[in-house]
Structure 1
């Protein structure tokens, strides 16, 4: 799991953006508690999340502009949502071994999720745990 945590931190901009080295879940939790800078959202876009998805799952565009004008970071909740989405996206990449396949899978409706997409379900922490479980089953070769 520390490889996933380190990759999430790298995608967020690493030490240069986070202001700290992140090697553990605790380090990442502290970064979230201290509130991520807005520039960390670039990592979500670079990971393949669209502006609409960032707006829907993390922070509305209008709020983002307002925060940028005032040079304010994300809130703790917004920081947590950004990290959650990157964690799921990173685990999917690791599972499928391919950036494109992972991002396609995250947007494909699944019968197991009553026709919802993994990305939609991962909008909550409880949902993200469900998606992690499905990805773990796929990684172990079980039908998900």
Structure 2
């Protein structure tokens, strides 16, 4: 029951669970058909940290889940939370996840291919660009 956030964790291969060893393994673990991620599947990666199931993830829930699942360096949790909290309201919500999904969905077909997920994950979480720092143009 690894949460997602795992986020970048997966991508960078830092989590202890084999499903979170890389962005491609995170994709395979999260995708029901192993070919595409839906918006709900993508959102689940982060919203899995919502321990009290109130519909959003607080920094406390995120850090607790991050620590519990031994994802990366604990000092990295804040960075991942900040990138995922698109609206800067100190909560990760479905709306934040929908925005990040749209940013990653290069083909605009309402699903993420493995390549879109891997590329988007790298751009958002691994290069340090976060959301809104880079422009495709």
Q: TM-score w.r.t. structure 1 length?
A: 0.33
Structure having the higher Rg: 1
- Would you tell me which structure has more helix in proportion to its own residues? 1
Larger relative contact order (Cα-Cα within 8 Å, sequence gap ≥ 6): 2
More strand by percentage: 2
